[in-house]
Amino acid sequence: MNPFNPGAGTQPPELSGRDKVLGDAEVAISRVLAGRSAQGQILVGLRGVGKTVLLNRIWAQANQLGANAVLIEANEKRSLPSLLLPELRRILISLDLRASASDKVKKGMRVFRSFTSGLRLKHGEFEFEFGNVEPERGSADSGDLEVDLAELFVAVAEAAQDHKTSIVLCIDELQNISEVEFGALIMAVHKTTQRSLPLLLIGAGLPQIIALAGKSKSYAERLFLYPEIGPLRDEDARQALEKPVIQENASFSSDALDLILEQTQGYPYFLQEWGKEAWNTAVGPTIQAEDIRRANPLILRNLDQNFFRMRFSRLTPSEQRYLRELAELGPGPQRSGDIARKLGVSTRKVGPRRDALVKKGMIYSPAHGDVAFTVPLFDEFMKRVMPDQVQS
């Protein structure tokens, strides 16, 4: 009967403190469905703050409101078109099956065929068919992804508009998209926005996505809202712990809640981990502070062996040393130059290491010359796994 369920993107038993994010998304989706303009959103935050949970909830929300919602996760090993095309094809087929299938839908299919034909000639990896539908020659087949993806988005959005519906693209892990593909995605969304077409992008990514968006297209800062998804406020964190156990006729003592909040810093994933093990450790209906203290070693061991170790194992020895010195400087953003000095090398020499860690999603730069962990509490893990300060 343990109500807590830590996991990657797993819906928590109580989603607390995110009403504004969900409410803003619902308004944006509803506006697009009503034929009005709305800014897309990119949820920005560290690992473990619940971005994927929120994106899944927004996707479900969009479907309930009557939109054609797409949910995909960007992957370093797959191109953006290979992720988008099956979903766009599905939408066009569903529109075509309606009794009032229109010329706009047929055109969308032809443009889709043109787009995939151009990619097949260039990459040889795309095979999508629409029966006897012929390509729309001269449309979305130039071989330039920025131009072609924009033409495809416009054609599919026009088909949706003709059927008085909309398209909501929910894309997780946006930081995994290459700069070229991200620029093409932004331009495609921009083209549909300029024409007041019913297509909305709601994405999620690590903090470096803001810099990537601005670098890709200067107008990206006006095209999207960037709500910051951070740790929960104390009252919301308490609610996330208390409500699930109350439903099971149990409770937390005030001291137990204080101790969990101190150790988790309000991060949703860690709240679920501590809640789960606190429940398993407690012997009575009230979970006490002593139960939390007894559970702590097991919680840290589980986190170290799974949540943290999985990321640590992807690093080279030199990258591990860089992160160990970052951890030694304390929590929060630190100067990259200070890390280089601790390693005994120049800032320029340590640059490739820093850039590789950014690409791996381990650190980000909140300001020029600063770096910080993307994973909460990872600094404490580095001190546990590499207890002695290491020199380069």
Structure tokens at 310: 């999985």
Domain 19-225 CATH assignment equals 3.30.1330.10: no
Tell me the C-alpha distance between 251 and 89, whole Å. Answer: 49
Tell me the C-alpha distance between 104 and 117, whole Å. Answer: 20
- Under-70 pLDDT residues of the chain: 99-101, 118, 120-131, 388-392
- Give pLDDT, residue 182: 93
**pTM of the predicted model as reported, rounded to 2 decimal places:** 0.88
Return the CA Rg of the chain.
24
Tell me the C-alpha distance between 241 and 312, whole Å. Answer: 29
The DSSP 8-state label assigned to residue 112 in this structure reads H
Written as one letter, the residue type at 110 is R
Structure tokens at 344: 């005994």
- Find out whether 83 and 184 touch, Cβ atoms under 8 Å: no
- Find out whether 245 and 271 touch, Cβ atoms under 8 Å: no
Its CATH class, for the domain covering 316-385, is mainly alpha
Q: Sign of the C-alpha dihedral, residues 324, 325, 330, 334? A: negative
Tell me the C-alpha distance between 177 and 173, whole Å. Answer: 8
- Write out pLDDT tens, residues 178-220: 989 999 999 999 999 999 999 999 999 999 888 888 777 777 7
Tell me the C-alpha distance between 124 and 112, whole Å. Answer: 16
- Give pLDDT, residue 224: 92
What are the residue boundaries of the structural domains of the chain, listed by start?
A: 19-225, 234-311, 316-385
- Write out pLDDT tens, residues 303-345: 999 889 988 998 999 999 999 999 999 888 999 999 999 999 9
Its CATH class, for the domain covering 234-311, is mainly alpha
> H/E element holding 28?
helix 19-33
- Give pLDDT, residue 230: 93
